[in-house]
Amino acid sequence: MKLPELKLPEKLKPYKGVILFAVILMASNFLWKYNVIGDESENINSTVTLWGFNISAPFIWTAHHVAHVCESVLHLFGSKVMLSSENFLFYPNGNSVQIIWACTGLKQAYIFFCILAFYRGPWKHKLWYIPLGLTIVYAFNIFRITVITCCIDTHPNWFTFLHFYFFKYLFYLVIFALWVIWDEKIVEKIKPADLSDS
């Protein structure tokens, strides 16, 4: 898949890659925000739709999966966290978090896929780098939810900062770092003839 050549003023040409990254990120985020509609209530079985079609199943499954993996990881470190059937990870002291459809990391996986799919580079390299990047996105999401859950045991007032600010922007920083590795360490070392076919 090849995008039209991006025409930029001379001063901006050194930043062409970053500008294209930002454009793809914003476009994919915009498409998600206005097409993937989900109930923001604390209901694990919230309906998620795409153009009116119910696409809740993968979100519900992934939310359950993330909750189970986070519980298992925390138990490895001796945590007393427990998981209810409604995806509440809760502590004996009453502090808890609920893993809902928006906590699955599927949006970030979609954004990462779009960035790599629409950015320059041959598909023979994208076919291994995209799955590798998606694995890192998945692992970071598990890390994010696990750390937030761990912290709310004794610091429940940290939840808003960690969830809505710190890890939200750190997630995008991880995606940006994956793109930088792609652009500077992989694409830059590919022969120009191979790039012309991408």
pLDDT more than 70, % of the chain: 86
At 146, is the pLDDT very low, low, confident or very high (cuts 50, 70, 90)?
very high
pLDDT value at position 193? Answer: 52
What pTM was estimated for this model as a whole? 0.88
Domains of the chain: total: 1
Q: Is residue 3 part of a domain?
A: no
Note the pLDDT of residue 86. Answer: 84
* Residue 46 pLDDT class (50, 70, 90 cuts): confident
User: In this predicted structure, what is the pLDDT of residue 26?
Assistant: 96
pLDDT of residue 15: 77
* pLDDT tens profile 11-27: 666 678 899 999 999 99
- Residue 109 within any structural domain of the chain: yes
* Full DSSP string of the chain: --PPP----GGGGGGHHHHHHHHHHHHHHHHHHHHEEE--SS-TT--EEETTEE-HHHHHHHHHHHHHHHHHHHHHTT---EE-TTSEEE-TTS-EEE--GGGSSHHHHHHHHHHHHHSSS-HHHHHHHHHHHHHHHHHHHHHHHHHHHHHHTT-GGGHHHIIIIIHHHHHHHHHHHHHHIIIIIIGGGS-HHHHTT-
Q: Is the pLDDT of residue 54 over 80?
A: yes
Say if 2 falls within a structural domain.
Answer: no
Q: What is the mean pLDDT of residues 134-157?
A: 97
- Domain hosting 17: range is 10-195
* Average pLDDT estimate for 161-189: 94
Residue 20 inside a domain? The answer is yes
